[in-house]
Amino acid sequence: MDRLLLIFLFSCFVIVDVSAVDIPVRQNAVKITFLSWSSGSFKVAYERAVFNNQTMETTVGFIGVGYDKYKNNPEGYTVRYAHKFMLFGNDVCPLKGFYLRPEVIYLRFHYDTKELSGRKLSEMGSLIFTAGYQYVINRFVIDAYFGSGYAWGKECDTHYQHGFSLWEYFGTYNKNIAMTFGVKLGVCF
């Protein structure tokens, strides 16, 4: 009986040890916002799993890098912080799955006005609630999201704030309704 117990305990130790080696837990990711360069900015994000089913994400953006679709020559920066709540826990890959995410955004940039009467300043903040799905394949990360929330501050003439747009649909405009969507690509480690 002692011999069987010893064999059983040794087998459990070997199985646990082998499974720990085969599946590394990746808790960090570095991502870029895939299409941000096509709208005049470049954004880089760092995400880390910190609590059970929760991650923190910080994004830094450089406004004025890439193609300026509104032709208003923007120059500035944006900073974002998001706290993700993963809806279904995954101990093996804590960055993977559906999530809900409150996000605080601050941006500041100068741009040419529509009337070409000089440069103006846009400085806004926003609190946006997003939903999304982050998919992890080995080390590759794809993060797709959408959401809306509240915005405040001095908006740009085009209503595009390099990270969110202000409500301008169905013939109406509201500078306090912010909407966002995007895809981020990156690597996890």
CA nearest 79: which of 38, 47, 125? 125
Contact (Cβ atoms closer than 8 angstroms) between residue 159 and residue 165: yes
Q: What CATH number did the domain enclosing 54 receive?
A: 2.40.160.20
Structural domain contains residue 17: no
Structural domain contains residue 21: no
Structural domain contains residue 57: yes
Structural domain contains residue 87: yes
Enclosing H/E stretch for 2: helix 2-22
Structural domain contains residue 18: no
Structural domain contains residue 129: yes
pTM: 0.82
Structural domain contains residue 6: no
Domain that holds residue 135: 26-188
Segment 64-97, tens digit of pLDDT: 998 888 888 999 999 999 999 999 877 778 999 9
Structural domain contains residue 180: yes
Segment 112-147, tens digit of pLDDT: 987 777 899 999 999 999 999 999 998 999 999 999
What total of structural domains would you count in the chain? Answer: 1
